[in-house]
Amino acid sequence: MDLIRTIGSDRILFGSDYPWINPRKDIERINGLNISDNDKKLILGENAARLFNLK
């Protein structure tokens, strides 16, 4: 939460060590944070899509 407040959700990318570690618990943890749905969408994929010009 401190990182999100400090730098903003538009500058954070979700990452995992898949396939060695299942990211399900980390995704659930992010979804359980007290942040907006838009912030969750940014962190869990939209920032990466924008960074890699997939959108």
**How high is the pLDDT of residue 33?**
97
Per-residue pLDDT band at 48 (split at 50, 70, 90): very high
d(CA 55, CA 51): 9
Closest CA relative to residue 43, chosen from 11, 6, 16: 11
Q: How many domains does the chain have?
A: 1
Average pLDDT over residues 15-38: 95
pLDDT, tens digit (0-9, with 9 covering 90-100), for 21-30: 999 999 999 9
36 vs 17: CA distance, rounded Å? 26
Q: What is the pLDDT of residue 9?
A: 98
Owning domain of residue 19: 2-51
DSSP H/E element including 50: helix 47-51
Separation of alpha carbons 43 and 39, rounded Å? 6
pTM of the model: 0.90
> In the predicted model, is pLDDT for residue 55 greater than 80?
no
